[in-house]
Each structure stands twice: as C-alpha cells, then as structure tokens.
Amino acid sequence: MLIDTVKTLCALPGVSSHEDAVRDYIREEIAPYAHRIRVDAMGNLIAEKKGRLPGRKTLMLAAHMDEVGLMIHTITDEGYLKFSTVGGIDRRVLIGKRVLVGSKAISGVIGLKAYHLTSAEEEKKVPKLKEFYIDIGAKDGEDAKAWVRPGDIAVFDSDVLTFGNGFLKAKAIDDRIGCAVMVELMKRDLPMDCTFVFTVQEEVGTRGAFGAAFSVKPDIALVLEGTTAADLPSMPAHQRVCAPGKGPVVPYMDGGTVYDRGLFRLLRSLAKEHEIPWQTKEYVSGGTDAGAIQRSRDGVRVAAISAAVRYLHTPSSVASIADFDHILRLAELFIAAVANMEE
C-alpha cells in the first residue's frame, strides 16, 4: 500500500546531505525491479527500469529524499548546542520541539529563554536563531562533547499519525510522498523505460538534481513533490495556494520554474479525462528540482505533480491520504502518455 510506504519513509531521518537511511531503504525496496541502479557522487539514487517498450523519449522521474533540519555548530561550556538551519525553516515553529541529534540519534529539546524573563517588546518579535539552543540533558560542555560534535545533524523527532478524516501527520511528507509514489511505480508494469532519480539536497537549493539531470540526459522530466498549502482560517482565497484533499497539484509556475506549457496542459487533460480530482497552485511560491532539471544541458521539458501539504517544513506537516493515490494514478497516466508521444 502506498500509504504504508509514505509512513515508513516519513519516519526515517534524511536531512539534506545525510539522506543515507532513506536511500538505503528505497534501494532495498526497488532493487529487484531495477535494470540498473547506482548512487552518483552527490548521493542521488538513480534507478533505470525497463518498460514494455524502450520509448522514443528519455523520461526521468524525480523526487527528493532529503528533508529540512538543523546542523550543530557550537557546543557551549554549559553543554547546550547552538545550531544553523538546513533548508528553509520558520523559526517560529522551533520552540519546544523534540529533535534527534547526530548518528547516535540522541534526544534533544529546542529551548529558549524562560517566558517570565521575556519582555513585552521581545514577545512581539520572532527570536533570532542564535537565541535558540538544543538541550540534550548534558551535565556540562565536556559531557555534551562526548555525544555530539560540531557538524552533527539534528532531525525533527516526530511520530507518524493518521488522524481525522483521512489525514496524515508526519515530518518530511515533503518529499517522502514523491519518493513513495516512485517506489510504487518501480514495482508496476510500465509502458516504457523510465529513469527514477531520488535526489539529495533539494531543500538547500536543488543541488542534487543538477548532476543527476546532467548524467541522465532526459528529454522529459516529471517531478513528484510536496507543496505548501495555505487553506487556513483567515487566509484570503487568492493566497491559499492549494488545499489537501482537492487532489494532485499540477503547477504551471512556481518560484523556480515555468513548467512546460504543453505538459501542463497534458496533465490537466489527463486528470479531467480520467476523472481524477486535481488543482493547481493558485499563488506563485516555492520551487522544485524541476528548475535545475529544465535548464540542464540543452534544456528539458518539465512537469510536476505535487501533494498539497499544510505546515510544510515543520515536524507536523499534514496531507490528505486520498490525494496520494490520485498522484500515483496521474503519474502512471503521464508515463503512458509520454510512451505514446510522437517525435
């Protein structure tokens, strides 16, 4: 089941540049279905799968394995950990959150100056990153250094939960949903050869996708993503972007890419024809690996299908489970359409 794969993947740690656990899991899952599988210098997992026909185009599917997180840069004499963010994190969500630090995954809590010492003026502002610290319960600096070194990564410690009317709450739904859809597609009978790329370091600027697209040399690329939803109380309709439960998000544009107009129309008509609910991004924001892929070599036609995710880049991102199967179905139809494309 797709939802089980999503849940398993969301539970794994995989902050940008430390995607090992996610990559190892995916590799084991898909290896039996891959014709050729490799990990490139950046750490992208690239799997070629044979379809019923080779296909006239080289089609690349891409989802990123990495998630946002923190990196420890200083250990104080008292044994607290100071950190930088890895990827875009809203500082307002950090306060009081649980994290797992380093390869030993030791528990920590993100702390901040006590509330009774906070002035009315300070309360109005979002604290600076340097005011935060991670408390790992160390006795002192010496004790902390026995467990943590500068450069260690911290990942949100958040359980995976289904709740309410078909919703999933987890960290890293962006973009384990895309990874899960690709794992599922690998297991299916496909009409043409496809190259599946599980990329690294998307959250720090689509860094993995550059090299992957350069080596795969696709004609067409489909990016599977999680994208920010803002269907919240008090948001005016024109700034809500998209909403979980309304189907796959097919973007025409975001902050990094104007998607290929022909492929956008193709996805739109496939959804309509097969009665798959769909939506588009009703606000220009964010970016995906498509930006890097589109401008690779002499250019690539790019399209994307995303899951609408509330509270993106927090330990508690929320998405609609019903959307996941629709994304899988639409991606499958897209592959079939590319297989039938004329020169």
Residue closest to 230 by CA, chosen among 219, 240, 238: 240
- Does 269 interact with another protein (rule: CB under 8 A)? no
CA angle 187, 194, 28 (to 5 degrees): 40
- Does 264 interact with another protein (rule: CB under 8 A)? yes
- Does 232 interact with another protein (rule: CB under 8 A)? no
Q: Are 145 and 75 in contact (CB under 8 A)?
A: yes
- Does 278 interact with another protein (rule: CB under 8 A)? no
Out of 296, 306, 317, 320, which residue is the one contacting another protein (CB under 8 A)? Answer: 296
202 is catalytic: yes
Please give the structure tokens belonging to residue 184.
């599922």
Q: How many CB atoms lie within 10 A of CB 238?
A: 8
Options 202, 203, 225, 332, the catalytic residue = 202
What residues form DSSP beta bridges with 60?
A: 195, 221
Closest distance of CB 71 from another protein, Å: 28
- Does 253 interact with another protein (rule: CB under 8 A)? yes
- Does 297 interact with another protein (rule: CB under 8 A)? yes
Q: How far apart are CA 79 and CA 170, in angstroms?
A: 29
Out of 282, 316, 325, 341, which residue is the one contacting another protein (CB under 8 A)? Answer: 282
Please give the structure tokens belonging to residue 295.
């401008």
- Does 294 interact with another protein (rule: CB under 8 A)? yes
Out of 11, 109, 160, 258, which residue is the one contacting another protein (CB under 8 A)? Answer: 258
- The size of the interface with another protein (CB under 8 A), counted in residues, is 22
Residue closest to 72 by CA, chosen among 183, 159, 125, 150: 150
- Does 2 interact with another protein (rule: CB under 8 A)? no
- Does 227 interact with another protein (rule: CB under 8 A)? no
DSSP state of 125: S
Please give the structure tokens belonging to residue 316.
């508690």
Q: Are 291 and 206 in contact (CB under 8 A)?
A: yes
Q: Give the binding range for another protein (CB under 8 A) out of 128-136, 187-195, 234-242, 335-343.
A: 234-242
Q: Which residues bind another protein (CB under 8 A)?
A: 219, 237-239, 252-253, 258, 261, 264, 280-284, 294-301
Question: Catalytic residue positions?
Answer: 202
